[in-house]
Amino acid sequence: MSADRLFEPLLLAADRALRSVFAETRAARPTPGAQDAAPLPEADRRQSASLMRVNHAGEVAAQALYHGQAAFARAGRTRDMLLRAADEEADHLAWCEQRLRELGSRPSLLNPLWYAGSFALGAAAAALGDRVSLGFVAETERQVEGHIDSHLEKMSPDDTRSRAILESMRSDEIQHGQDALDAGGARFPAPVRDAMKNTARVMTITSYWI
């Protein structure tokens, strides 16, 4: 294998990482919800901002997971499916980023750490084979669905903009998980699911504040 062929995946991975963490993400789809929604009371604004910061960090992690899995996928069709899902997740990243600006807040300061750790997890899952990697997608998206549901419960009903974003994200996450199962993803046993949930909890709790 030539040096160019050897380093091309690494260069692509580095480019995707820089774009996901440091560049302003542009969505292919319009941001859900009305931009001119009524201002929120200060307590509700702070709560929404903290929750959307967590969601933004989750989308940074989602980009990294998909990029890591795609970089080491064994079948071309698996790689293509992962990259298509990553493109849709990039919309989520842009939506959350825009909503944070509207709420007068900022992304998590630890996003580079979340990206690096998630890329490593994605690469490790891919190294175990496409069936395991796709199963990892399915379980991750199932947990993200529950995580979004919990945020919708905590968020003010008056924050219609943030709620519309989360509901659109939830629909995409469900579809990504089902696509992964349909493509042959493994169903993980309870101990693995619990370990994934505990790992994600570290990010969600930290990103709420930092």
- Answer yes or no: pTM beyond 0.75: yes
pLDDT in tens, 159-194: 999 999 999 999 999 999 999 999 888 888 788 888
Cα distance between residue 28 and residue 95, in whole Å: 10
pLDDT on residue 18: 47
Write out the DSSP string of 52-120: HHHHHHHHHHHHHHHHHHHHT-SSHHHHHHHHHHHHHHHHHHHHHHHHHHHTT----TTHHHHHHHHHH
Domains of the chain and any CATH numbers:
3-20+48-209 (1.20.1260.10)
Cα distance between residue 21 and residue 43, in whole Å: 28
Top-confidence range, 113-122, 146-155, 199-208: 146-155
pLDDT in tens, 122-163: 888 888 899 999 998 899 899 899 999 999 999 999 999 999
pLDDT on residue 205: 79
